[in-house]
Amino acid sequence: MRIAFVVGGFPRISETWILSQVTALLERGHDVDIYARRSSGETTVHGDVTDYDLLRRCHCYDVPTTRGGRLARAAGVLVRNLLRHPLPLLRCLSPTRYGSAYVVLNNVILMEPFLKQRYDAILCHFGGNGMDFIALKDAFPDTRFVTMFHGDDYFIGDEKGPEVFALLKLLGDAFLVTTDCFGRATLRRYGFDDRRIVTLRLSIAAKKIPFRERRWVGGTLRLLSVGRLVEKKGLEFGIRAAAAFQAANPGLRLEYRIIGDGPLRSALERLTAELGATDTVKFLGAQPGTEVMRWMHDSDIYLLPSLMEQAGYVLLEAQASGLPVVATRVGGVREMVREGRSALLVEAGEVSSTTDALQRLLSRSADWPVMGQEGRRHVEEHFDVGRLTTQLEHVLRARS
């Protein structure tokens, strides 16, 4: 198949699951191109971006931010293409259908590269991209149009009302979610057709991740979190819990490493200083995938303190590597781990509960190898990239 991926920014170091899908499809002989709304501007990239030469496959729109700039870009698209491709362009020019002339301008701009290259399937990652690119289904009715929801995009319906999804619900061929308890339930609440909702778990090549049993032999206890430094990741509570845990165990040397960057970094560093925890909490910044795995293998416990987490891909990596986990009971986390067997779950935002869970893990250090084996088995049984790529191929090929 010829497949187009539509994403927000590219490349994004934090969106490993998208790279996993792209590379798995390429390895099966499909022709995959990537359409990004903008360049991510990130200088640290995942190794697969280079290994598979993905930048060569990527088209970045970088749409002008001003109305005048958009008008000029859209006019140029029409001048270059209207005579050669009249039907696809005319199908996307109705302000009544799309809600405003502003959206119509976007339709024209976003459509141009698709006039030159036709695809069997278009896979939009994140609901907002599905909504903004749905005109491609009007323009090319025979192309399979699939949208995959991930996180904040679910709440567009709460913020703007379910009707904001009206055209996507009407025209989209399939809607992918990664969990049932959160993803499928949310789309059903917004009125999506349950027959077109498909649960597609995040996929991971577990066989490529070395497994190491964790055994406590004393010395420094190494705690790890990986994620964007934004409010929903709950790292404030992770830092507070780590500081409290260290204070409760003065004879223990704790090191809490945080991988990731984002707008809250300065605030989190100030909080760390206020808590007197600068010797405990270490900010490592954004890291490529190979370095993330190196830090995972050099850690004893994985901590996910998120306030909202649709499905945490990093939980799969942590369990595949053999780490016992402490995580918050939010979103789809319960489907990502084996509660009580590979992970201890706590309520979000509760520092004392998180501290208590860390204390229980420390007191049960003899169970760490079994927890690691349970986590690895869970990942291999439910999130295997081979099986899930076959499922994705079926979704992209199917015809309604």
pLDDT in tens, 133-154: 999 999 999 999 999 998 778 8
Per-residue pLDDT at 79? 95
For 124, counting Cβ atoms within 10 Å of its Cβ (0-12 exposed, 13-18 middle, 19+ buried), the class is: buried
Residue 303 has pLDDT above 50, yes or no: yes
Beta pairing partners, 222: 255
pTM of the model as a whole: 0.84
Per-residue pLDDT at 72? 95
Residue 307 has pLDDT above 70, yes or no: yes
Mean pLDDT within 224-242: 97
Per-residue pLDDT at 400? 47
Alpha-carbon gap, residue 4 to 30, rounded angstroms: 11
Task: Return the number of other C-beta atoms located less than 10 Å from residue 118's C-beta.
Answer: 12
Rama region for 276: left / alpha / beta (φ>0; ψ in -120 to 50; rest)? left
Residue 280 has pLDDT above 90, yes or no: yes
Alpha-carbon gap, residue 302 to 248, rounded angstroms: 19
What pairing do the DSSP bridges indicate for beta strands 58-60 and 325-328? unpaired
Residue 38 has pLDDT above 50, yes or no: yes
Mean pLDDT within 216-231: 93
* Interior angle at CA 120, CA 193 and CA 191, nearest 5: 10
pLDDT in tens, 66-75: 889 999 999 9
Residue 125 has pLDDT above 50, yes or no: yes
Confidence of residue 205 (pLDDT cuts 50, 70, 90): confident
Whose CA is closest to 170, among 143, 138, 198, 142? 138
pLDDT in tens, 100-109: 988 999 999 9
Per-residue pLDDT at 122? 98
pLDDT > 90 fraction of the chain, expressed in percent and rounded: 77
Confidence of residue 181 (pLDDT cuts 50, 70, 90): confident
Contact 329, 354 (CB under 8 A): no
pLDDT > 70 fraction of the chain, expressed in percent and rounded: 98
pLDDT in tens, 46-63: 778 888 999 999 999 988
All structural domains of the chain? 2-62+118-203+384-397 (3.40.50.2000), 206-382 (3.40.50.2000)
Alpha-carbon gap, residue 15 to 8, rounded angstroms: 10
3-state secondary structure the chain: CEEEEEEEEECCCCCHHHHHHHHHHHHCCCEEEEEEEEECCCCCCCHHHHHCCHHHHEEECCCCCCHHHHHHHHHHHHHHHCCCCHHHHHCCCCHHHHCCHHHHHHHHHHHHHHHHCCCCEEEEECHHHHHHHCHHHHHCCCCEEEEECCCHHHHHHHHHCHHHHHHHHHHCCEEEECCHHHHHHHHHHCCCCHHHEEECCCCECHHHCCCCCCCCCCCEEEEEEECCCCHHHCHHHHHHHHHHHHHHCCCCEEEEEEEECCCCHHHHHHHHHHCCCCCCEEEEECCCHHHHHHHHHCCCEEEECCCCCCCCHHHHHHHHCCCCEEEECCCCHHHHCCECCCEEEECCCCHHHHHHHHHHHHHCHHHHHHHHHHHHHHHHHHCEHHHHHHHHHHHHHCCC
Confidence of residue 399 (pLDDT cuts 50, 70, 90): low
Per-residue pLDDT at 331? 86
Q: At 91, give phi and psi (nearest 5°).
A: -70, -20
* Interior angle at CA 335, CA 299 and CA 244, nearest 5: 40
